[in-house]
Structure 1
Amino acid sequence: MGNLCLFSALSGVVLDHGKPVEGARIERSFTWQSNGETGVDETHTDARGSFSLPVIFRRSLLASLLPHEPFIRQTILIHHAGKTYQAWMFNKGEYAENGELGGRPISLVCRLEAEPAHRDGVFGICEPQ
């Protein structure tokens, strides 16, 4: 029974018109469709606007042994100054660590003034670097 990566570790920076945003709340959530599990964690940006969150692994004997199509809905929201920003919306279709961006670690630049858009298969205001 191996580790199944539901959400890879990530790091990023939140900017507002080029200036770091301190104290923004970063809320990460997932829904694992195979068994209906959901999860939420959060962190806050530091004085440089930086944040990071650890990898989320799960173990499942059935998911490790039985053929199925993995589907994990991933969401990251940024809460700042009374507003909520869609930072990352992604549907992960495998269990590989760093599989979201084809093997690259998730490193993001999130611009609060940006309009949400599709970038590298991800929807939101954050740009993978």
Structure 2
Amino acid sequence: MMYRNLARALCAAFLVIGQTPMARAEEYLCSPMTGQLVTPQGVPVPDTPVRRAWFWRGKRGESATTTDAEGRFTFPAVPPKRGLFERIPAREAVIQDFYADLPDGPFQFLYLSTRGLSLNAETLGKPFNVRCRIGVEPYADDIHFGTCTLIDPEAS
């Protein structure tokens, strides 16, 4: 009888936890970001479709936009949607791929793998604002692999 009551109490606790959000800091699979697509000479690339794909805990998502006349594009933040068992703290890894759909095919201009779900985890806490070149060889730095450089949003 005692074990049956304990089991009921545990089940009730799990149901309550599953229905109410647990107290957590604000989390992002993908931080909000702005960017500009330019040629190797720095000329803006207008009216170009741009895609962001993300991968987290076996889940995948994708969003798309188009550059404006100045080659600028934006992507909103992507919050995690957690099930009951995903509420257990774990080391989080999110992968993001960015592509420009050019006339001669897709061009991957940025690849990121982050650790953590904090705002701007992709850029080690700095605003996620990048200038990316098409038609050049990708390279690696401390944060990413691609053709982008982090820029000051006020200078863009």
Q: What TM-score, normalized to structure 1?
A: 0.89
- 2:69 is matched by which residue type in structure 1? A
Superposition pairs for residues 30-109 of structure 1, below 5 Å? 30-33=54-57, 36-60=58-82, 61-64=84-87, 66-109=88-131
- Bigger proportion of residues as helix: 2
* Structure 2 residue matching 1:42: 3-state secondary structure: strand
Is the CA contact (8 Å cut-off) linking 1:98 and 1:106 kept in structure 2?
Answer: yes
Alpha-carbon RMSD across the aligned residues, in angstroms, is: 1.5
Are 1:29 and 2:73 matched, yes or no?
no
Q: Which runs of 5+ in 2 are unaligned?
A: 1-21, 152-156
Partner of 1:100: helix, strand, or coil? helix
In structure 2, C-alpha distance between the alignment counterparts of 1:108 and 1:10, rounded to whole Å: 8
In structure 2, the residue matched to 1:9 is 32
Moved runs in structure 1, 4+ residues, more than 4 A? none
* Bigger RCO (CA 8 Å, 6+ sep): 1
Counterparts of 2:141 and 2:149, CA distance in 1: 7
Any conservation in 2 of the 1:101–1:120 contact (CA below 8 Å)? Answer: no
Q: Kindly tell me the number of residue pairs found equivalent between the two proteins.
A: 126
Q: Which has the higher strand share?
A: 1
Say yes or no: does 1:116 pair with 2:112: no
Q: Which has the larger radius of gyration?
A: 2
% of aligned pairs identical?
A: 27
Tell me which amino acid in the other structure corresponds to 1:40: E
Give the conservation status (yes or no) of the 8 Å contact 1:25–1:44. Answer: yes
